[in-house]
Amino acid sequence: MELRHFGIMKCTFEANGFRLAKNNEKAKAAFEKASKGQEMLASPWDAAKHMESAAALAKEIGNWSEVSDFYRRASELYNECGRPQPASDALAKGARALEETAPDEAIRLYTDACDILEEDGKEQMAFDLYRAATGVYVKLEK
């Protein structure tokens, strides 16, 4: 096993340790590093998984701009490995996380998630996402 593999494994191990210790800021940073490492190893699936973990921690911390950025990046990485459904799911997770604090961004994320499904010929799977986006939009109008 190459040395850089050990570095990524170390980041992942540290991230999980920090998460268990409730040090979410350090855990988030470690998951970001692990994601970047997986990208360097040309493993977009694993990079996306780590990025989603970083996004979930950003949500717990309340860093809303990172929530959007990280879920968007995870979606891009899933698309890189030809997986539109997880790409759409990542955006939908980000949208749900942002509905209350950043509703405009939530609508954009829902819309982008729907676009991914439609491009993949899965319009019927986008129905729930359209409904969720409409719900956020209606709340904004009140």
Cβ 25 vs Cβ 15: under 8 Å: no
pLDDT tens for 9-67 read 666 756 666 666 777 898 899 889 999 999 998 999 999 999 999 999 999 999 999 99
Cβ 101 vs Cβ 117: under 8 Å: no
Cβ 114 vs Cβ 92: under 8 Å: no
Phi-psi region of 129 (alpha: psi -120 to 50; beta: other; left: phi over 0): alpha
The pLDDT of residue 123: 84
The pLDDT of residue 1: 45
Question: For the chain, which domains are there?
Answer: 1-141 (1.25.40.10)
